[in-house]
Amino acid sequence: MKARIHPPTPANLRRLAAVLRRGGLVAIPTETVYGLAAHALDERACRAIFRAKGRPAHDPLIVHVLNLAHAEQLAEFNPAARKLARRFWPGPLTLVLPKKTCVPAIVTSGGGTVALRAPAHPLARRLLKLAGIPLAAPSANLFGYISPTSAAHVADGLGRRIKHVLDGGACAVGVESTVLDVTHPEKPRILRPGAITAATLEKFLGVAVRPVRRRNSGQAMPAPGMLERHYSPRTLLRIRHPGGRLPPDVAGIFLRQPAGAAGPNVYWLSDHGTLEEIARNLYRVLRRADQSRHREIWIEALPADAGGITAAINDRLKRAAARR
Ligand code: TXA
Ligand code: MG
């Protein structure tokens, strides 16, 4: 059976909230990417997420909550974490904190910390309110593939593995949340860059916010979130400016519509060149280029000093282009 894509009517929202309360899976829109949601305190429901995605058990899930009060039932907050939640929630910031005992081990891959965020998408919030439970939700894609930013993307990847997708249109941010480890508040660490940048967090907290260095080459099991290859198209992807002579059997992805180039193998990420637009379109364009069955995809990276969400975009490109 194929998954049903539900328009967000009040009746459908009530029905899907009931599915979640009973331990079922529902793909839901968030402002970053679509998530595959399940009752976070129901171990069986969470196991079904891993099964549907083909996700390895050592990669923990993000738990979505309505607000800070709900989050405090699941994790031990410190003053810095509370301050961050008050300033950036609802929004694309995930906080990693020591978990409370009610959070099942499957959610945290057996670890002592849990990742939490309050999503800003109005439909995600309506569903959280109606269901009245925390929702574990990784991105709603097959493990390792490009994250979904529309209901159709979810159905493309998981259509035969899940029953319900809530249609919330295209995601406004387009790349996954910033994951910030605040278990040691004097030394916050970015585990995954996102729309809320290191510079913004540093200014707000008044302490240095560093990315965690990836040190897992050769290790049997990478630290959570540190998988080198991820977010990847099936076609070989190279970070390489597609201008000049783009071979006809190579799909080229430019940051902006290129002046000279045209043709079925020419793609671009933005009309106006803003970073927000590039982030919003990135996964949709990568998917289209991947489905176009070219021999390779060449994509232009952003200049490292472009600021804002640049670090997140370049991080995803690097991981999408990492060799198997
Ligand atoms: O924007 C987002 O964060 C989206 C939407 C659906 O909320 N979710 C998302 O989930 O991207 P996922 O599972 O695809 O990525 C979650 C990341 C993974 O890299 C995971 O390893 C990391 O968060 N993570 C989860 N729990 C963690 C923990 N306790 N410690 C460290 N990293 C954790
Ligand atoms: Mg993911």
Residue nearest to atom 21 of ligand 1 (CA): 225
CA distances from 236 to 172, 245, 294 (A): 27, 18, 9
| pLDDT over threshold 50, residue 220 | no
Q: What's the pTM value of the predicted model, to 2 decimals?
A: 0.96
Average pLDDT over the chain reads 94
| pLDDT over threshold 90, residue 215 | no
Residue 29 near residue 121 (C-beta atoms within 8 A): yes
Among 3.40.50.970, 3.30.1360.120, 3.90.870.10, 3.30.2320.80, what is the CATH number of 4-211?
A: 3.90.870.10
Which ligand 1 atom is at minimum distance from the Cα of 35? 6
Per-residue pLDDT reduced to its tens digit, 75-133? 999 999 999 999 999 999 999 999 999 999 999 999 999 999 999 999 999 999 999 99
Query: In angstroms, what is the span from residue 225 Cα to ligand 1's centroid?
Result: 7
- Residue in the block written with tokens 């976070």: 40
Q: Helix 151-158 vs helix 275-291: angle between axes, to the nearest 10 degrees? A: 40
Residue nearest to atom 7 of ligand 1 (CA): 35
Domains in the chain: boundaries: 4-211, 236-321
pLDDT band at 235 (very low <50, low <70, confident <90, very high): very high
The predicted model gives 292-310 an average pLDDT of 95
Ligand closest to Cα of 176 equals: 1
The CB of 138 under 6 Å from ligand 1? The reply is: yes
